[in-house]
Amino acid sequence: MRARLAIDKEYEIGAIDKRIYGSFIEHLGRAVYGGIYEPGHPRADANGFRGDVLELVRELDVPVVRYPGGNFVSSFNWEDSVGPVDKRPRRLDLAWKSVEPNSFGLAEFARWAKEAGTEIMYAINLGTRGIDAARNIVEYCNHPGGSYWSDLRRQHGSKAGFGIKLWCLGNEMDGPWQVGQKTPDEYGRIAYETAKALKLFDPKLELVACGSSNGHMPTFPQWEATVLEHCYDSVDYLSLHHYFRNDDDELPAFLASSLGMDSFIDSVVATCDFVQSKKRSKKKMQLSFDEWNVWFHSAEADSKNEPWQVGPPLLEDVYTMEDALVVGCLINVLLRHADRVKVACLAQLVNVIAPIMTDNGGAAWRQTIYWPFLYASKYGRGTSMSVKVDSPTYESKAFGPVPYLDASAVLSEDGRHLCLFCVNRSREAVELDLRAAGFEGLALAEHVELRNDDLKAANTAAAPNRVSPKVLATGKAGAALAPLSFNVLRYSIGK
Ligand code: AHR
């Protein structure tokens, strides 16, 4: 089958904010305990940070990591996570029915983030707590000294502070599962008042208000509209969360799920712009898609979880080749919305619905979904270009016609490379016919392909490289995309 992809140097979607390659570490399952932190592990450093995990996180080059939750944050007292470790309380975490020993806390995460070369995106508890706890933690983290909370931090050993710029005002506050769930008016008010207090402290802080927990919530998108009526002018981003599933094991429908992400973003953009018009505001609300991924494999195992353990194995999805294809398509959606989506977090980073898996005391390895994320993070920085795809389609019940070819295009920051990320959703090869107006002397410099004949193939501790990318021979400007494959086509641009 043939598909045509047309781009034009004149038609840009917008500058890509590198923070769309963000991720997420929650105090959930083995993300922290047994994931990034495992004192006594042969690869742990003096801080207890696993060096093998740090190497993989650095390879992914994740610019921002959301922390410490998630649902966890809505009944979490941040004060428990600071000061001498032996004085910190053990608490019951109601969100995941686990025990939180607080032996890894704020200062430890800040140190880890520095070693990983990433920035912190900190989520504040607006479930059981409120404005007071919010203003205190911001002062603790960011004020240089000479006040109660900043001096306490200095006493705890951090003179410089953590300089955290990006703050989430709660998590999924519309969700009935959330401790301290709110109505949109209750949440909109508290988000507004919290934003006001934080911006009085520092107007340069960037604040994220909670959108709906996902696009299927019955109150979506009225939740967004009401919340923004309250806090439009005080916050910088509205959050989106969505996870994708394949419960019925129907590959074509699963591969089409990125069209759902597309229309979810379009609806949120439309709602934000409606509120903007209503308020006669000059400001365009930007989006933070701060939880996205495939999540369904672990549901059955999790239903048998023994409660009240430290670091239990929870949400340990083992990802397959087909999940990697879906993740490739989801990244394409984020890139095609680069004009509005400025932050995004692959949820999560280690062990919990994650690209990186570990065994306690053992190895760390890359899951299948690691690969599309790695290549996008590596080559997907610069300007997102408008792509016109002319491809044969198939019908899906949920979305109607679905193009077999899914693509995004990125012009590199130095203007010397054009990178296409292409997913072939078909069981047939696709012959790609590229028309790139305004780009002289394009030559295919690199073609990386991720595919496996067994679509259920996964990487494990015993076979960590079963699904891994292959570098193909390059030649003409067009390329052949193998059946059911993810492809990185990197072109050098002549003068
Ligand atoms: O990422 C796992 C969970 O999914 C998060 O804690 C929550 O915010 C979402 O429902």
Cα 71 to ligand 1 centre (Å): 6
Specify the residue with its C-alpha closest to ligand 1, atom 3.
Answer: 70
Distance 172 CA to ligand 1 centre (A): 8
**Is 383 close to ligand 1, i.e. is its CB under 6 Å away?**
no
Minimum-distance ligand 1 atom for the alpha carbon of 24: 1
Q: How many CB atoms lie within 10 A of CB 456?
A: 11
**Tell me, what's the pLDDT at 473?**
78
- In this predicted structure, what is the pLDDT of residue 479? 85
Overall size of the chain counted in residues: 495
Q: Whose CA is nearest to atom 8 of ligand 1?
A: 70
- Which residue, judged by its Cα, is nearest atom 7 of ligand 1? 70
| Domains contained in the chain, CATH given | 2-8+386-492 (2.60.40.1180), 17-379 (3.20.20.80)
Residues annotated as catalytic are 172, 291
The tokens 């074509």 sit on which residue? Answer: 252
CA atoms of 171 and 197, how far apart (whole Å): 18
Which atom of ligand 1 sits closest to the CA of residue 96? Answer: 6
Verify whether ligand 1 is closer than 6 Å to residue 214 (CB atom).
no
CA atoms of 109 and 131, how far apart (whole Å): 23
From atom 9 of ligand 1, which residue's Cα is the shortest distance away?
Answer: 70
pLDDT tens profile 48-101: 999 999 999 999 999 999 999 999 999 999 999 999 999 999 999 999 999 999
| pLDDT at position 40 | 96
Judge if the beta carbon of residue 348 lies within 6 A of ligand 1. yes
Single-letter code of the amino acid located at 455:
L
Distance 295 CA to ligand 1 centre (A): 10
Q: Which atom of ligand 1 is nearest to the CA of 171?
A: 8
Span from the CA of 96 to the centroid of ligand 1 (angstroms): 10
Which stretches of the chain score pLDDT less than 50? Answer: none
Nearest CA to ligand 1 atom 6: 70
347 lines ligand 1 (CB under 6 A): yes
By the 8 A CB rule, do 479 and 403 touch? no
Q: How many angstroms separate the CA atoms of 464 and 357, rounded?
A: 10
Is 426 a pocket residue for ligand 1 (Cβ < 6 Å)? no
> Of the candidates 130, 270, 276, which has an alpha carbon nearest to the alpha carbon of residue 191?
130
> For residue 69, which atom of ligand 1 is closest to its CA?
6
Which residue, judged by its Cα, is nearest atom 2 of ligand 1?
70
245 and 261 Cβ atoms separated by less than 8 Å = no
Q: 206 CB less than 6 Å from ligand 1?
A: no
pTM here?
0.97
Atom 4, ligand 1: residue with shortest CA distance: 70
Query: Ligand 1 mean position to 241 CA, how many Å?
Result: 8
Q: Is the CB of 291 under 6 A from ligand 1?
A: yes
**Nearest atom of ligand 1 to the alpha carbon of 347:** 1
C-alpha span between 459 and 366 (Å, rounded): 7
* Closest ligand 1 atom, residue 95 Cα: 6
Distance CA 80, CA 72 (A): 13
Ligand 1 centre distance from Cα of residue 392 (Å): 36
- pLDDT for residue 474: 76
Which of the listed residues 26, 243, 346 should we mutate to test ligand 1's pocket, taking the one with most ligand atoms within 8 A of CB? 26
Name the closest-CA residue to atom 1, ligand 1.
347
Q: How far is the C-alpha of 70 from the C-alpha of 67, rounded, in Å?
A: 8
- In order, the DSSP letters of 144-187 are -SSSHHHHHHHHTT-SS-----EEEE-S-TT-TTSTT---HHHH
| CB 26 less than 6 A from any atom of ligand 1 | yes
Ligand 1 centre to CA of 102 (Å) is 20
**Cβ(172) to ligand 1 under 6 A?**
yes
φ/ψ (deg, to 5) at 424: -95, 110
Alpha helices in 202-256 (DSSP H): 222-231, 251-255
With a 6 Å cutoff on the Cβ, whether 211 touches ligand 1 is: no
pLDDT tens-place string over residues 262-309: 999 999 999 999 999 999 999 999 999 999 999 999 999 999 999 999
Which atom from ligand 1 is nearest to the alpha carbon of 28? 6
Would you say the CB of residue 68 lies under 6 angstroms from ligand 1? no
